[in-house]
Structure 1
Amino acid sequence: MTEAVTPDRRRFLTAGAAVLGATAAAQLWLPASARAAETPLPEGVFSLGVASGDPLPDGIVLWTRLAPDPLNGGGMPDQVVSVQWELAADRRFKKVVRRGTARALPEYGHSVHVDVRGLRPGRVYWYRFRAGGRLSPVGRTRTAPHPLGSGGTLRVALASCQNWQHGYFTPYADMLEQDPDFVLFVGDYVYESAPSATAVRRHEGTGEPYTLTQYRNRYAQYRSDPDLAAMHANAPWVVTFDDHEVDNDFAGEVPQDPDKQSHDAFVTRLTAAYQAYYEHMPVRATAIPNGPHIQMYRRLEFGSLVRLNVLDTRQFRGDQATGQAGAQDPALTMLGAEQKRWLLNGLRRSPARWNLIASQIMMAETDLKIGEGKLWYYDAWDGYQAERNALLEEFAGVRNPVVLSGDRHLTMISDLKRDFADPDSAVVGAEFVGTSIASNGDQDQAAFHAQFDPLRADNPHWKLIDAHRGYHLFDIRRDGIDARVRVVDTVLKPRATHSTLAALRVEAGRPGVTAV
């Protein structure tokens, strides 16, 4: 599915044509009478850029949000605004294939989510919006392959954890050059932490967000990062959230600090956070929140090559354990009964060559105790071991399961074992825990290895651990997955040097990961 990056394509990417705006010819997009009838809107109404997401063989979601004053609630009038949109087969919009009008509602922050259907599979398209006489940047997207398609390559970029205060989002500049078919973002798109005077880039506001306006302002600030905006404008994204989009380490309707946030207050906070998340993500209407609930787990198909199961490991989990007995409690759930049943049915009946599971948190074991005994990291699948172990039992009968995770701010690539308590247990899958885009900043590599290298003997399933910032890039074919760990030398400056830290491979029909 990946197309070659031609010199002309590279100039398009590096010049930022997709994010700088529409061509002069776009001024003739609407008839003069229609343009005259528009209520003028301020400059910068498309300050948050454009995005697309959740590709189908015949469809894609197109997103934007009208926000001329993005860090102060958006700055739009309290009225419905008509937004015209176009989707074309060429970037000059000479071959428009779909167009229409969407309604940007004030109750959803004047965000726009257009679910375009009737498209051709495996195709690149360009899109743009117009409102109040203003033109949006031009975005580039693509649809999923034909449902019956079995060949080709699918290029996927795995990203997570982008703390504004810890650094610039420089890994996206390299990701843009690699031209993935889609970006899989598995959580911590924004951080709820209060502004810090010592931060690389200071959070807006005066404290943590609790209200809808405060969450909107926080998302708007993150969306202003130019590398993030460019990546959104050049490839579709598949997203899910973790904890920092709401509150660190929350579980279901239980906050991190229930002694400081009452249940009712936290439900109000959840409601605001989920709505702001929906307003800023290129997701379908199925994700419109219902109060403190949002439908996030879902399944996407990429021909017969890949089935992608996107999990929600926050809304349905029981309050996390604080000790070994709790972590092994068979009643403790990460997914909830309904989501677990949905996942297992999707894995058992999958016709796909590769079955990918997007999990916000790490599935492989992390034993933090050197020598005899175990000490687990409880805000991961280690804290929900009965359910995790049952899932790994199922993996033994699933075709080519691969878990793609985030959360740890580290690269941790592992074999998935049927039973981590048994060193001789069979390998049933592979897991790639992606490092962070910016969270933890430029980490001290020597200190990291001094802490984690002594643990490797107790975690023989770890194939690679590292603490550089970056992302993972996967080229998926029928015979295997070629993975690259792409890293940057710094996130403390707006520009960085990019490189491949490691190359790994997963062979079809042979569970586990090998270094190349």
Structure 2
Amino acid sequence: MPETGRSRALSRRRFLGYSGAAATGVLLGAGQWDTIAYSTPLLSGYPFTLGVASGDPTPDSVVLWTRLAVEPLAPDGNGGMPPCRMPVLYQVATDENFAHVVKAGTAFAAPELGYSVHPEVYGLQPGRHYWYRFRVGNQLSPVGRTRTAPAPGTMPSLLRFGFASCQSYHGGHYTAYQHLAEEDLDLVLHLGDYIYEESYGFSTDHDGKPLPEYMLDEVTTLTGYRLQYALYKSDPHLQAAHAASAWINTFDDHEVEDGWVAGASKADTEPDQDPAVFRQRKLAAFQAMYENLPLRHTQMPAGPDIRVHRRVDYGNLANFTMLDTRQYRSARNGREDPNATMLGGKQADWLIDGFSTSPARWQIVGNQVPMAQLDRNPDENVVSWFADCWDAYTVERDRVLTEAHEREVDNLVVVTGDRHSNYLMDLKADYDNPDSPVVGTELVGTSISSGRDGADMLPVGENYLRANPHMKFCNFQRGYNRVTVTPDRLVTDFRVVPYVSRPDAPISTRASFVVENGRPGADPA
């Protein structure tokens, strides 16, 4: 296989051969596994060094994940694994001791998919916890816990989820994930920048050990992206957060390259840059992303393209609409350009149609870059916007928010990453009109580690608050958001750590806000 990735995508049929055998091997009883005998090559070490995960729950199913690697940072990106398919057995149980196994089967870890498996387990009961684990030979994986979504049409009394983004390994320790794993959440939304494509001058792992020289360059190939994911996923706190809850993932830019848009790399502006080079890089990046996250086969990339915008329902209480603001985005041609698009026409229509068709009490949009207007300069005669966010696509933003208002979406909450800062802002259909109604709330969560230690408040934050009357809170520490949803209210807690430059930071709640059912906008809790 060329180092830059596959020349074409694996077919759906081949994918099912690698990871789908599983759902047919149903057994009951303690300790039982798939009874089909498979030959397992002898491994040189423990294969579950990258942990386990689950994701995208439905009322009757969940996707499980692991990736085998006895040497996670082996320079060829293959994790020290033999060049053959490996049978990976799994169990799903109703208890953490696996006394009551309800599903069991075998998936196959293949070199073509980085020795990852993504068994999609069906026939589960809605709205309940399950525990799962994998086995290769006589080696057992760590145990993970997941939870299925509630039954359609039901109104759960409670949902607790977290959201996070921007976890530069080289930016600092993942102590925030240590605390997130202890939160007893139903779901975690990851909003992008799961990896960063370069080391930015840092050359040690989280234990202070030097990284190999080949881990210090910018990543552009399949081998390089696989190694970068292996480095990030080797962190025990990230592993614990995955094992504690089901995740719903989308991506932003650093999973491929900083600042990329649609089919264009920043390097494509250079006269001698062939756009095919960036397409090959996207192909490699998306394949590695699929290999390392709990994504369903419907998120499997097709060459340099991948579909991650999707909906995950949580009964009639909440709908999670995950966006993709990178692949379909047009070039920036001025803020008022009516043809400029963040989402692409089809995705924008899909988002807006969902405002009318979803029966959910709370419509929660997973979004990569800030949607609300953010002027960085309090001088009325000077306007300063961030270029890489919805402020560069105001016509489409106004359309989306106007449609939400006209379709009577009372409980629109947009959760966002990217900015390495905590913000809470009102969403308005027209920010140029002071009388424009508030149509929703945006919760912008800070980074897990990107930006190093941060601070409670910076001078720029004081400017933000003066220049943007619809901004109700900002903060520049590291951490994540914890969100508690009931039929009557949604409460968000901005959870922060004082530092990431060293381990063992305590966690605290810097601020809490509440959105009441039927009343757009948030107030201090």
TM-score with structure 1 length normalisation? 0.90
- 3-state SS of 1:278 partner: helix
Q: For 2:49, which of 47, 50, 58 is the aligned residue?
A: 47
Do the aligned residues in 1 keep the contact of 2:367 with 2:417 (CA within 8 Å)?
A: yes
Q: Which residue of 1 aligns with 2:262?
A: 252
Q: What residue identity is the alignment partner of 1:511?
A: P
Q: Which residue of 1 aligns with 2:321?
A: 309
CA distance in 1, matches of 2:59, 2:241: 21
Q: What residue identity is the alignment partner of 2:313?
A: E
Q: What residue identity is the alignment partner of 1:495?
A: D
- 3-state SS of 1:377 partner: coil
Structure 2 CA distance for partners of 1:27 and 1:214, relative to 1, 3 Å: farther
CA distance in 1, matches of 2:34, 2:151: 36
Q: Which residue of 2 aligns with 1:492?
A: 501
Q: For 2:216, which of 206, 210, 214 is the aligned residue?
A: 206
Shift of residue 172, structure 1, vs aligned partner = 1.1
1:69-113 deviation per Cα after TM superposition (whole angstroms, max 9, x unaligned): 111211212211111111000111110000011111211101000
Q: Percent of aligned pairs with the same residue?
A: 45
Q: Which residue of 1 aligns with 2:161?
A: 156
- 3-state SS of 2:217 partner: coil
CA distance in 2, matches of 1:414, 1:206: 38
Structure 2 CA distance for partners of 1:199 and 1:418, relative to 1, 3 Å: farther
Q: Which residue of 2 aligns with 1:232?
A: 242
Structure 2 CA distance for partners of 1:31 and 1:129, relative to 1, 3 Å: closer
Do the aligned residues in 2 keep the contact of 1:166 with 1:199 (CA within 8 Å)?
A: no
Q: Is 1:99 aligned to residue 104 of structure 2?
A: yes
Q: Which residue of 2 aligns with 1:416?
A: 427
- 3-state SS of 2:466 partner: helix
Do the aligned residues in 1 keep the contact of 2:446 with 2:477 (CA within 8 Å)?
A: yes
Do the aligned residues in 2 keep the contact of 1:412 with 1:464 (CA within 8 Å)?
A: yes
1:257-316 deviation per Cα after TM superposition (whole angstroms, max 9, x unaligned): 324553111111000000000000101000111110001000010010001100001000
Do the aligned residues in 2 keep the contact of 1:130 with 1:136 (CA within 8 Å)?
A: yes
Q: What residue identity is the alignment partner of 1:113?
A: H
Do the aligned residues in 2 keep the contact of 1:70 with 1:220 (CA within 8 Å)?
A: yes
Shift of residue 32, structure 1, vs aligned partner = 10
Q: For 1:56, which of 30, 55, 58 is the aligned residue?
A: 58
CA distance in 1, matches of 2:30, 2:127: 30
Q: Which residue of 1 aligns with 2:12?
A: none
Q: What residue identity is the alignment partner of 1:429?
A: G
Q: Is 1:141 aligned to residue 146 of structure 2?
A: yes
CA distance in 2, matches of 1:114, 1:31: 13
Alignment of 1:210-221 (within 5 A): 210-221=220-231
CA distance in 1, matches of 2:339, 2:140: 53
CA distance in 1, matches of 2:332, 2:253: 13
Q: Is 1:360 aligned to residue 368 of structure 2?
A: yes
Tell me the number of residue pairs that the alignment of Structure 1 and Structure 2 aligns: 484
Q: Is 1:328 aligned to residue 336 of structure 2?
A: yes
Do the aligned residues in 1 keep the contact of 2:320 with 2:365 (CA within 8 Å)?
A: yes
Q: What residue identity is the alignment partner of 2:347?
A: Q
Q: Which residue of 2 aligns with 1:438?
A: 449
Q: Is 1:337 aligned to residue 345 of structure 2?
A: yes
CA distance in 2, matches of 1:473, 1:121: 23
Q: What residue identity is the alignment partner of 1:279?
A: E
Q: For 2:121, which of 106, 116, 126 is the aligned residue?
A: 116
Q: Is 1:131 aligned to residue 139 of structure 2?
A: no
Structure 2 CA distance for partners of 1:422 and 1:210, relative to 1, 3 Å: same
Structure 1 runs, 4 residues or longer, greater than 3 Å off: 26-35, 197-204
Q: Which residue of 2 aligns with 1:8?
A: none
Shift of residue 203, structure 1, vs aligned partner = 6.7
CA distance in 2, matches of 1:152, 1:172: 26
Structure 2 CA distance for partners of 1:134 and 1:420, relative to 1, 3 Å: same
CA distance in 2, matches of 1:407, 1:493: 23
Q: For 1:75, which of 63, 80, 85 is the aligned residue?
A: 80
Shift of residue 45, structure 1, vs aligned partner = 0.9
Do the aligned residues in 1 keep the contact of 2:34 with 2:106 (CA within 8 Å)?
A: no
Shift of residue 452, structure 1, vs aligned partner = 2.2
Q: Which residue of 1 aligns with 2:232?
A: 222
Q: What residue identity is the alignment partner of 1:104?
A: A
Q: Which residue of 1 aligns with 2:186?
A: 181
Q: For 1:402, which of 413, 438, 452 is the aligned residue?
A: 413
CA distance in 1, matches of 2:402, 2:99: 53
CA distance in 2, matches of 1:389, 1:297: 20
Structure 2 CA distance for partners of 1:27 and 1:180, relative to 1, 3 Å: closer
Q: Which residue of 1 aligns with 2:305?
A: 293
Which ranges in structure 2 are unaligned for 5 or more consecutive residues?
Answer: 1-28
Q: Is 1:370 aligned to residue 391 of structure 2?
A: no
CA distance in 2, matches of 1:208, 1:357: 32
- 3-state SS of 1:335 partner: coil
CA distance in 2, matches of 1:213, 1:382: 36
- 3-state SS of 2:520 partner: strand
Q: Which residue of 1 aligns with 2:275?
A: 263
Q: Which residue of 1 aligns with 2:11?
A: none
Q: Which residue of 2 aligns with 1:472?
A: 481
- 3-state SS of 1:301 partner: strand
Shift of residue 198, structure 1, vs aligned partner = 7.2
CA distance in 1, matches of 2:94, 2:422: 38
Q: Which residue of 1 aligns with 2:288?
A: 276
Do the aligned residues in 1 keep the contact of 2:150 with 2:156 (CA within 8 Å)?
A: no
Structure 2 CA distance for partners of 1:276 and 1:469, relative to 1, 3 Å: same
Do the aligned residues in 2 keep the contact of 1:43 with 1:134 (CA within 8 Å)?
A: no
CA distance in 1, matches of 2:211, 2:397: 36
Do the aligned residues in 2 keep the contact of 1:169 with 1:491 (CA within 8 Å)?
A: yes
Q: What residue identity is the alignment partner of 2:43?
A: L
CA distance in 2, matches of 1:483, 1:56: 24
CA distance in 1, matches of 2:521, 2:200: 42
Give the RMSD, CA atoms, in angstroms: 1.9
Q: Which residue of 2 aligns with 1:428?
A: 439
CA distance in 1, matches of 2:30, 2:41: 16
Alignment of 1:444-463 (within 5 A): 444-445=455-456, 448=458, 450-463=459-472
CA distance in 1, matches of 2:519, 2:36: 63
Structure 2 CA distance for partners of 1:199 and 1:33, relative to 1, 3 Å: closer
TM-score with structure 2 length normalisation? 0.89
Q: Which residue of 2 aligns with 1:19?
A: none
Shift of residue 229, structure 1, vs aligned partner = 0.4
1:465-516 deviation per Cα after TM superposition (whole angstroms, max 9, x unaligned): 0001011111000101011111111111121111110111001100001112
Do the aligned residues in 2 keep the contact of 1:39 with 1:133 (CA within 8 Å)?
A: no
Which ranges in structure 1 are unaligned for 5 or more consecutive residues?
Answer: 1-25
Shift of residue 241, structure 1, vs aligned partner = 0.3
Do the aligned residues in 1 keep the contact of 2:262 with 2:330 (CA within 8 Å)?
A: yes
Mean CA deviation greater in 46-55 or 130-139: 130-139
Shift of residue 39, structure 1, vs aligned partner = 2.6
